[in-house]
Amino acid sequence: MGREDDCYLSATDGRLRKLVVQATEGVRGGPPNNTWSRKPIGSSIPNHLRMVSWVLKRNIEGKESRWTWRICLRWLPACFGLLGPLCVPADLGGEVRNNGRYEQFKYHYWGHSYVPSNPRDAITPVLELNGIAERPLPPRYLCFLKSVGGMEVARVSDWEKHNDHGAILEYVFISYTPAQFLGREDWDKLHELAEEAARQAGVSAYWISCSCMPDSDQLSEDVSRYGDVIRGAHSLAIILGPPTTNRYASPTMSSMLQQWGERMWTFPDVLLSPEDRSISIYTRHGDFSTARLVLKRDFPREAWADTPVSSQLVNHYDGRHVLSPLELATLALQCLSTRVDNRTAFLPGDLTYVLTGLLRQRPKVNPQNTAFQEFYCLSLAIGNHRLLERLICLDPRDRNQAWHHIDDVWGCNLWGISPLCQVDRLGDDDTVIVSGAFTAPIRYQSFRTVNLLARKTVRRTVARFAVRGAPLSFLLAFVVLIGTGSLGGRMGFVSVIGSIIMVLATISILLSPFLLASLYIGKTWAAQPWLFGFEGYMDIAELETMIFGTNLNRLKWSAASTDLCRHAEQGGTCIGVDPTRDPAVSNLITRCRKSAYGEDKLFTLVDTNLMTVTLFTATRPPVALVLCGSEGSMQRGLLCSYDWKSQTLYKEAVTRVNPRALELMSRVDRFRLGLRRPLPQTRPAAS
């Protein structure tokens, strides 16, 4: 196959351009593991300021406070070297762009959405979209006990026709796992145990999935009402057995119960079971007439590894400690994400269907949808809680973990994040259409001269007038003196004026290194916001010299923006320190230099507004910073790469940003976002 080239959208005209990334020497000397072009890191400082730094560098940086022989030797050559460039008009201080704000990310998604939030936005008009399913409490089928022994599978509607309206239909809900019972022989044994459980409970029927969901065309409806079938049951009975992979094993009840608890569909069985009745547990080779009884509140310790979290859910459904809807959805998703098993799935969206069974709102089942697509519908159904908007802001501990794992590297829960944007549409391939997010592009190709806002003083005003006027004044005085000389001294007054101008211009030229340093080097109050990026790690002093010409300690390491940031206490204040002080980060930098195609690379992000430097890892260079939520006193920003073939931004990393950055960013009205970028099987692009 051909090469996979990365591109970006130009901040100037919005056109698609090939992505060229500055990289350190160690990265460029590594293996060909990239889909973008690499180039050496270069300085953006104008030649004027480079010459000033060449003369006064150590004095400017505060390492020396007196004149030295080195400065004296370099001073006159620098003055003559500056004379030519000063004759050419140039903006040495950098350009004020976008009215002093970050560059605009010139992107808009023009494609149609797979599922819009509003029916009128659909390609084909529909009457209802993402509707809420009704709650049909009774099951469709039950296994009714016969008086002489045995059972018969029959419709509940037929039973209701032959019984009075006042008759109460009670049944036992039978729970098992296909990891222990699979196939006709096992199911016959299940029915034998289930019949005994129902007779011991004193009811006339039981519900079991292997027989009470017989219609394949009604599978979606049965999945939709699964939670209601549990809620309406008289009691819950669990049937255990040895694993199907080893029928002759003799496992303990505890190990069989733990295997049962690993299945996703068994999780709501306990949560939604009646709280006033004990749970009966039977084993395949045990005594059928005697069941082990476990109280519902004690069950998490018996069967589930996530006892601290699952116990909260049990307490919620028992009414002892009621959770908010957002807390309930978060904790339930946290438990279900560890129980996903595609081998025993009914439908692709099983995870979300189990989750919706635990909640009040319930979107209708669509058998063709994935779990992510159905989660979007669920998030839309419970509207103001904005589950999906919060979920996309999480920073996963493992980049390869599935979307439903909400294990945040900062230990933040969904309810700890406040969304800044709106997910209002669903795209193809498990992507979403997001609107209203604050964004800024990241520049990788080169650094730019950064405009610095300095306080206006008399010294700077005089210096600016002297520097700007020196070349023209010198030329004017030279012309005047030549002209008066040719007239034989008949214009003595003009000659005196010309001589004075010549002296002043000469003094200005001789002081030009000092004057330029006064104008463009020193304490600043603000800077033109830029987001610069490059691949690799660089010492912060060298980096500041590359961008600003001198190292005045303006740039600081981020204290807690990514998991690679490190901080320390200094004078009662938390400050960022060089991450390479941590041996783990140093080892990571070394590994990233030799990483293979598709593995993590190390990148550095420089924010000239906040004056921060941040290290992070990503598979591809993120071309945009998208602020999607806030967490405490920080903003959650997604560092996104751009797939130009599908117009999709893919989340590569998450960074925590100071709120001051949001004030200077522009919104993107609509963009397509994917949580995990697929790795195409292509050859890396040449560097």
pLDDT of 578-591, one tens digit each? 999 999 999 999 99
Residue 106 has pLDDT above 80, yes or no: yes
Q: Which of 82, 83, 90, 78 is nearest to 54 (CA)?
A: 78
SS3 186: helix
Token digits for 658?
């100071």
pLDDT tens digits along 665-680: 999 988 999 998 887 6
Q: What does the pLDDT read at residue 576? A: 92
- Here the tokens at position 372 are 């992510």
Q: Which two tokens stand for residue 307?
A: 């006892």
User: For residue 498, is pLDDT > 80?
Assistant: no
Is a pLDDT exceeding 60 seen at residue 684? no
> In this predicted structure, which of 19-28, 43-52, 160-169, 387-396 has the lowest mean pLDDT?
43-52
| Tokens 């040719």 -> residue | 486
pLDDT at 621 over 90: yes
The count of C-alpha atoms lying within 13 angstroms of the C-alpha of 619, restricted to the half-sphere facing its C-beta, is 20
Indicate the pLDDT class of residue 287, thresholds 50, 70 and 90. confident
- Give the list of residues 6+ apart from residue 164 with CB closer than 8 angstroms, or none: none
Residue 222 has pLDDT above 70, yes or no: yes
Q: Please give the average per-residue pLDDT across 415-424, as a whole number.
A: 90
Average pLDDT, the chain: 83
User: Is pLDDT of 486 > 50?
Assistant: yes
Give the whole-angstrom CA distance, residue 438 versus residue 390: 15
Token pair for 338: 């560890």
SS3 24: coil
SS3 of 204, please?
coil
142-146, 239-243, 572-576, 664-668: which range is least confident on average?
572-576
Does residue 2 have a pLDDT over 50?
no
Contact assessment for residue 373 and residue 115, using Cβ atoms and an 8 Å cutoff: yes
pLDDT of 594 over the 70 cut: yes
Residue with tokens 């020396």: 64
163 has pLDDT over 90: no
Higher-pLDDT residue of 502, 424:
424
How far is residue 89's CA from residue 468's CA, in Å, rounded to a whole number? 9
Closest listed residue to residue 404, CA positions, set 478, 457, 354: 354
Read off the pLDDT of each residue in 357-376 and give the average, rounded to a whole number.
82
pLDDT in tens, 334-354: 999 888 765 566 778 888 888
pLDDT for residue 466 is more than 90: no
Mean pLDDT of 277-303: 87
Average pLDDT over residues 489-501: 65
Mean pLDDT throughout 543-566?
Answer: 89
Q: How many residues does the chain have?
A: 687
User: What are the tens digits of pLDDT across the range 450-462?
Assistant: 888 766 767 767 7
